[in-house]
A and B are shown apart, each in its own frame.
Chain A
Amino acid sequence: DVKVTQSSRYLVKRTGEKVFLECVQDMDHENMFWYRQDPGLGLRLIYFSYDVKMKEKGDIPEGYSVSREKKERFSLILESASTNQTSMYLCASTPSYNEQFFGPGTRLTVL
Chain B
Amino acid sequence: SQQGEEDPQALSIQEGENATMNCSYKTSINNLQWYRQNSGRGLVHLILIRSNEREKHSGRLRVTLDTSKKSSSLLITASRAADTASYFCATDPIYNQGGKLIFGQGTELSVKP
Residues of A with Cβ closer than 8 Å to B?
4, 30-31, 33, 35, 40-45, 48-50, 56, 58-59, 88, 90, 92, 94-105, 107
Contact A42 B40 (CB under 8 A): no
A-B contact count (CB 8 A): 66
Alpha-carbon separation in the docked complex, A95 to B99 (Å) = 8
From B2, B101, B106, name the one whose CB has the most chain A CB atoms within 10 angstroms.
Answer: B101
Contacting residues of chain B (7-52) with chain A, CB-CB under 8 angstroms: 30-31, 33, 35, 40-45, 48
Most A CB within 10 A of own CB, among B40, B90, B99, B104: B99
Tell me whether A105 and B97 are in contact (CB under 8 A).
no
The interface size of chain B toward A, counting residues with CB under 8 Å, comes to: 26
Distance between A48 CB and nearest chain B CB, rounded to angstroms: 6
- Which applies to chain A's interface (DSSP): helix, strand, loop or mixed? strand
**Is A103 in contact with B45, judged by CB distance below 8 angstroms?**
no
> Given A43-B88, A44-B2, A107-B40, are A100 and B45 also a contact pair (CB < 8 Å)?
yes
